[in-house]
């Protein structure tokens, strides 16, 4: 587990974008994916908005994915296993990099064919608590023709990241503008933020 943590931190230091190809085990990724599909079959996912609190708006011209917030109160074994791993990563990050992370929030994201999310930053103007963004992908056998890449915009090096199963991406929430390109296949992930309140 620490190898995947170190991979995230080392690649982040090198390029402002941390990537671990195998942050999630195949078994955990498969279980989380099945849980997401079950939730979707029960129509429990909601349209994703833009903004927070009373400033949230819903605009399908900006983003068209659906989400479901993870919560320990659900007492779902697979979500809890994911939380254990996130908490271990936070402890590692705080001890090795003095990051000062005190909390987190995560949700499932589901993009159907044709869905996208235009350029944006992950930190709210009225709340700077989100410090790092993390995205863990749940897509086995993803092909280049499926699209749906995460495109991170940097001055001299735009980076296109395929959403392949097990991979996790990590970057500063207030630093890098990014977008999700149009997907040609069902695209699933867990997206969230490490916070310092």
Q: What's the pLDDT tens digit per position in 4-33?
A: 999 999 999 999 999 999 999 999 999 999
Tokens of 188: 């699933």
Tokens of 41: 């079959």
Q: What's the pLDDT tens digit per position in 122-181?
A: 876 667 899 999 999 999 999 999 999 999 999 888 999 999 999 999 999 999 999 999
Q: What's the pLDDT tens digit per position in 80-129?
A: 999 999 999 999 999 999 999 999 999 999 999 999 999 998 876 667 89
**Three-class secondary structure of residue 44 per DSSP:** coil
Q: What's the pLDDT tens digit per position in 43-78?
A: 999 988 776 656 677 778 889 999 999 999 999 999
Whether the pTM exceeds 0.95: the reply is no
CA atoms within 13 A on the CB side of 191: 18
């Amino acid at each position: 587990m620490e190898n995947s943590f170190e991979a995230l931190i080392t690649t982040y230091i090198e390029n402002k974008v941390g990537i671990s190809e195998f942050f999630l085990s195949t078994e955990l990724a498969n279980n989380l994916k099945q849980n997401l599909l079950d939730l979707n079959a029960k129509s429990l996912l909601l349209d994703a908005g833009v903004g927070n609190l009373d400033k949230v708006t819903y605009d399908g011209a900006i983003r068209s994915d659906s989400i479901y917030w993870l919560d320990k109160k659900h007492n779902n074994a697979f979500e809890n296993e994911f939380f254990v791993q996130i908490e271990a990563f936070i402890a590692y990050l705080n001890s090795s990099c003095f990051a000062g992370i005190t909390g987190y929030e995560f949700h499932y994201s589901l993009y159907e064919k044709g869905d996208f999310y235009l350029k944006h930053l992950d930190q709210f103007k009225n709340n700077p608590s989100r410090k790092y963004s993390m995205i863990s992908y749940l897509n086995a056998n993803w092909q280049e023709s499926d699209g749906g890449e995460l495109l991170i915009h940097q001055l001299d090096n735009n980076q296109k990241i395929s959403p392949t199963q097990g991979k996790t991406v990590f970057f500063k929430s207030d630093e890098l503008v990014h977008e999700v390109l149009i997907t040609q296949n069902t695209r699933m992930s867990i997206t969230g933020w490490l916070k310092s309140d």
